[in-house]
Amino acid sequence: MKYISTRNRNRVYTGAEAIVKGISDDGGLIVPSSFPIIDGAKLDELCEMDYPERAAEVLSMYLDEFTRDELLDYARKAYSRFDGDDPCPLVKVEDGLFMLELWHGPTYAFKDMALTLLPYLMVASKRKLGDTSKTLILVATSGDTGKAALEGFKDVEGTEIIVFYPVKGVSAMQKLQMTTQEGGNVHVAGIKGNFDDAQTAVKAIFTDPDAIAELKKKGIEMSSANSINWGRLAPQIAYYVSAYCDLVTSGEIECGDKINFVVPTGNFGNILAGYYAYRMGIPVGKLIIASNANNILTDFFNTGKYDTNRNFFKTMSPSMDILVSSNLERLLFEVTGRDDAKIRGLYDSLKKYGKFELDLEDADLGIFEAGWADEEDTREAMANFFDLDDYVLDPHTAVAASVYSEYADETQDETTTVIVSTASPYKFACDVYNAVADAHEDDVEKAVNKLMLFTGAECPEGILRLKHLPVRHNNVIAKEDAKRAVFAFVDEEKKD
Ligand SMILES: *Cc1c(COP(=O)(O)O)cnc(C)c1O
């Protein structure tokens, strides 16, 4: 399998290069040159497998430089860090409605599905390319990626990781998870600004020729663990395939029946993986994009206008507080018939004017629906699902549940539906407890305890343990100082 850039179809990469580079030299995203197909026979085979085998199988269709055994070894190691036997259980909440719980990994959010595996893929990719440089992972996080990347890369030989998070844009729990991070190769800094400021700062460093040259002198190359990295996206395709298999093997659907997926969406990585699974042949009815009050995607899918000149809202679902959904570029590339010139034009416009417009007539978007939920809708979904289904939703998943309820009411669509559940409710204990119990608790520790008592839902050990850990990372910087901070961290490391 070869890979190409969304901004230049003639710029070709191998899978290993895609994973090591993260982003194309021309600023485009790296995408597979075609979609491998899962036919009926293959789907039958996949149904017989456990999750690590399914993941290895899907990955091997894209990463032919790796043997199936290598990939299986990485998948087994990665998913052994998850609680329970099944890393991503499919839980039935109502007839025809399922939660795909992707948060049983080390940091209790769906990012673990990919970030426990990515370090193995990255280190092996470098080895295959004969690259002996040290890898510097730079991450901008809206909350969950940062912690998951820190856990994935901590003490991985030949790597160094720096995470920037928006100081006021993450939950108390997310912040505590990051500032208490252990490991000899990890650095964390708060940025005064929102997620887009952090992401813009990191993107600027990645494409800064001086920074690249100066790091090279030190034997260091940068790479990204953000959801634009192919090594993040590829493992995510697997759980869409696996959820389909689980519905077949449990007798909920017949092989070949279409199902819907509802995905709480921020940077568009998760739902894009669902789209890729669909393009590989998984029978999908609708892919439903759920946004919070930052509903730029809803507007785009309804009007073709993507305009970042708008208010930015801080919500209870911070991992979706995003105005520039990076992975949308990969979708636009596909739905415009891989028109790289058009993509270049759109993204030039985004850079210059903060907006672009696509004629929806020219784009094949029929598989998608888009909706959004405000804070009140989100609280209501948490309360209702607990009251009616005895199921506790985190605020991100609640956005999806709310959008789905509205969709189902409006369309009367009775297709079997999977809501992609992206975080443990305990990660957002205050907002969840306040919604289900109609309370006003703003102390995280108390909210965790009260949520346990009130709902009886099990709380992950790692969350209970957090309060005993010392804070190790106190840095807070202005967004203009991100580059300086990178070099300070790198030099500090050399002195050790
Ligand atoms: C990252 C994240 C999302 C958004 O996923 P994208 O791939 O960025 O669209 C949703 N919910 C949670 C809990 C997340 O951590």
Where helices occur in 186-287 by DSSP H, the ranges are 195-206, 209-217, 230-249, 269-279
In this prediction, residue 281 carries a pLDDT of: 98
- Both tokens of 223, joined, read 């790479």
d(CA 423, CA 426): 8
In this prediction, residue 309 carries a pLDDT of: 96
- Ligand 1 neighbourhood includes 144 CB (under 6 angstroms): yes
User: Long-range contacts of range 308-315, CB-CB < 8 Å, 24 or more positions apart?
Assistant: 308/196, 308/350, 308/354, 308/355, 309/354, 309/355, 312/194, 312/196, 314/168, 314/169, 314/194, 315/375, 315/378, 315/395
For residue 426, the 8-state DSSP code is G
For residue 34, the 8-state DSSP code is S
Alpha carbon separation from 276 to 58, 246, 272, 385 (Å, rounded): 11, 18, 6, 30
- Both tokens of 316, joined, read 């209870």
If you count them, how many residues does the chain have? 496
Residue 493 alpha carbon to ligand 1 centre in Å: 31
Residue 269 alpha carbon to ligand 1 centre in Å: 8
Q: pTM for this structure?
A: 0.93
Residue 319 alpha carbon to ligand 1 centre in Å: 5
Alpha carbon separation from 475 to 36, 246, 471 (Å, rounded): 45, 44, 11
In this prediction, residue 313 carries a pLDDT of: 93
- Both tokens of 97, joined, read 């409605």
Which residues participate in catalysis according to the annotation?
Answer: 111
Residue 265 alpha carbon to ligand 1 centre in Å: 6
In this prediction, residue 493 carries a pLDDT of: 64
List the end-to-end C-alpha distance of the chain, in Å, as a whole number: 41
The secondary element (H helix, E strand) that includes residue 407 is: helix 395-411
The secondary element (H helix, E strand) that includes residue 224 is: strand 220-224
- Ligand 1 neighbourhood includes 267 CB (under 6 angstroms): yes
For residue 180, the 8-state DSSP code is T
d(CA 224, CA 316): 26
The predicted-structure confidence for 74-93, as pLDDT tens digits, reads as follows 999 999 999 999 999 999 99
- Both tokens of 386, joined, read 């607990």
Top mutation candidate among 88, 102, 103, 144 for ligand 1, by most atoms within 8 Å of CB: 144
- Ligand 1, atom 15, lies closest to the CA of 144
Alpha carbon separation from 454 to 73, 93, 139, 434, 448 (Å, rounded): 41, 19, 36, 11, 10
- Ligand 1 neighbourhood includes 171 CB (under 6 angstroms): no
d(CA 328, CA 332): 6
Locus of tokens 């919500």: 315
In this prediction, residue 157 carries a pLDDT of: 86
Alpha carbon separation from 69 to 53, 55, 422 (Å, rounded): 10, 12, 29
Ranges of the chain with pLDDT below 70:
493-496
- Ligand 1, atom 12, lies closest to the CA of 422
Q: What angle do CA 378, 272, 146 make, to 5 degrees?
A: 70
d(CA 489, CA 494): 9
In this prediction, residue 207 carries a pLDDT of: 86
The predicted-structure confidence for 387-418, as pLDDT tens digits, reads as follows 999 999 999 999 999 999 999 999 999 999 99
Amino acid identity at 338: R
- Both tokens of 260, joined, read 């819907």
